[in-house]
Amino acid sequence: MGDIKRFRKKYTTPSHPWNATRITLERSIKHKYGVANKKEIWKAESFLKSFKDQAKSLLTRADDQANKERDQMKSRLVRLGLVKESGGIDDILGLQLRDIMNRRLQTFVVKKRLARSVKHARQLIVHEHISVGGRKVTSPSYLVLADEEAGISYAADSPYMSPEHPEAFNEEIAQRKLAMQKARAKRKGQQFDEIVVFDASAIDDPEEAAKGGEYDASVADLGAAAEAPAVVAEPARGAPRKRKA
């Protein structure tokens, strides 16, 4: 038998587990992008951090090898749609976590109105209903290349290809259901809260709450750069708990 293949860890966990700012930020990202757990967020942060660390090291070098590595890194980021052809090192250092999350296949499925919500999009991808360039992709965190955006659609053998499928998104049917729900609420004298199928601004900037700090919210280790990190207090072991009224 051959040697056991050892998988390298693709992410780093936060150094401080009870940083309130980081917990609030991760909860917001998890809700808006529909990730299954925080491990997916940490993987995206580590992926972004690796590019930023490489860009910082290349800033201090001017040899031919540095120029070659700089061109290769820029070419890869351009293919991923994260920077433009005319971009430079400053654009790479200015990337945020939301830029990575917006390139995920799960986000594109919602943007193209192939799903009704981010959770629905995740279900479609995992159940092999979505294809990219004619190839089925079952990973919601797959980073879509710039030239692959136009090729995102339902799989050829998916029942969602039929416009009569009850779960497939249809603008006309959605508006008809919305009108019926409004009429029903009006008859009952209730206030109707319209549910937006997709709002680009809703997942455009999940790090807005972290602005104003002296740290980059896209880095996993938020507490290390903050001057006074807020800590979520836990009850002391053995302390009496308050009874519910």
Angle between helices 64-79 and 38-59 (to 10 degrees): 150
- Position 15 scores a pLDDT of 87
- Position 2 scores a pLDDT of 61
| Interval 67-107: pLDDT, tens | 999 999 999 999 999 999 988 889 999 999 999 999 999 99
Kindly report the number of other CB atoms within 10 A of residue 207's CB atom: 16
Name every residue whose Cβ is closer than 8 Å to that of residue 82 and which is 6 or more positions away in sequence.
Answer: 95, 99, 100, 103
Q: What is the mean pLDDT of residues 123-129?
A: 95
- Position 117 scores a pLDDT of 84
Kindly report the number of other CB atoms within 10 A of residue 44's CB atom: 25
Walk across the sheet containing 152-154 and list its strands.
135-136, 130-132, 152-154
Higher pLDDT among residues 227 and 85, named by residue: 85
| Interval 143-197: pLDDT, tens | 999 999 999 999 999 998 887 777 766 666 667 766 887 888 888 887 665 444 4
> What residues form DSSP beta bridges with 33?
none
The answer to whether the Cα torsion of 102, 103, 105, 111 is positive or negative is positive
Whole-number CA gyration radius for the chain: 22
